[in-house]
């Protein structure tokens, strides 16, 4: 199968999940879909396929003792790059799902963190950590102290 076609399908595959958690977080169907880990399985199977097909003596040697320049050389192979991209798609969506659920359970505002996570997972996670800390501090100041 054409790698470019699969690449486009993988990118499109994650978009509905992101749209749901960003723009319709309280919808019953969003909650039902995000409860399941099944949403990750197609990408995980694609990753396994790409990972296995990209293995050769050079990539195995590089992965067993990674050095920056050797990794750059291995990632010049489109199959390896695609596998790495699917890896990002899976982990960013998993992280977005975590942020979404924490927001739902603890009533934390998440839209900005989810948008950042969609484009740059770790930055979105940092945004969520900061938002949660600020919101927790503000909530403590608003609640009357019991003595």
Q: Is 26 exposed, middle or buried (0-12, 13-18, 19+ CB in 10 A)?
A: exposed
Identify the pLDDT of residue 140: 81
Identify the pLDDT of residue 83: 96
Residue 84: closest CA among 42, 46, 123: 46
Q: Domain ranges for the chain, please list them.
A: 3-142
Identify the pLDDT of residue 146: 63
Identify the pLDDT of residue 89: 98
Identify the pLDDT of residue 141: 73
Contact 15, 44 (CB under 8 A): no
Contact 93, 21 (CB under 8 A): no
Identify the pLDDT of residue 45: 98
Along the chain (147 residues), what's the average pLDDT of each consecutive run of 10 residues?
93 98 97 97 97 91 92 94 97 98 96 97 97 91 65
Q: Note the pTM of the prediction, 2 decimals.
A: 0.89
């Amino acid at each position: 199968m054409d790698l470019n076609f699969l690449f486009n399908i993988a990118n499109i595959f994650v978009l509905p999940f992101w749209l749901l958690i960003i723009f319709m977080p309280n919808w019953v169907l969003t909650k039902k879909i995000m409860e399941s880990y099944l949403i990750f399985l197609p990408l995980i199977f694609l990753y396994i396929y790409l990972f296995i097909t990209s293995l050769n003596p050079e990539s195995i040697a590089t992965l067993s003792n990674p050095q920056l320049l050797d990794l750059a050389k291995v990632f010049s192979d489109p199959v390896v790059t695609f596998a790495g991209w699917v890896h990002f798609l899976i982990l960013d969506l998993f992280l977005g799902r975590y942020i979404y659920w924490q927001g739902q359970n603890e009533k934390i505002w998440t839209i900005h963190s989810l948008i950042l996570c969609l484009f740059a997972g770790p930055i979105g996670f940092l945004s969520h950590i900061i938002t949660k800390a600020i919101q927790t501090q503000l909530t403590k100041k608003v609640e009357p102290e019991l003595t």
